[in-house]
Amino acid sequence: MSLVIYRLFGYIEKEIAETLTVYLMMNVTVKEPVQTETIQEKETLWHNFSKEEIADFSHLTGDTNSIHLSDNPVVQELFILKQLCNTTKTNK
């Protein structure tokens, strides 16, 4: 399994107002969408990208790189950011 951790900070003036930690994991098999579940006391599973969602985004954006269209696809970073913006309703 591969793991990438992104830590994002939101500032108001020069003070940190909020933080977001994103864990990107690549498993051996593609999982189907699941219900939101508590992972630890204060963390929840935000989104489990399905193979179909990844392929649809690839076709929508014209990204035909085979790593996004394989049996075990890699989620595009732009797709992750798009979903984060949709979730947080941030359009800036």
DSSP E strands in the chain: the ranges are 2-12, 15-26
Burial label for 84, CB within 10 Å (0-12, 13-18, 19+), is middle
**So what's the pLDDT on residue 31?**
58
Query: Is the predicted pLDDT of residue 81 greater than 60, yes or no?
Result: yes
Of the two residues 41 and 14, the one the predictor is more confident about is 14
pLDDT at 42 over 70: no
The separation between CA 89 and the C-alpha centre of its own chain, rounded to angstroms, equals 15
Domain-by-domain residue ranges, the chain?
2-88
pLDDT at 74 over 60: yes
Q: How confident is the model at residue 7 (pLDDT cuts 50, 70, 90)?
A: confident
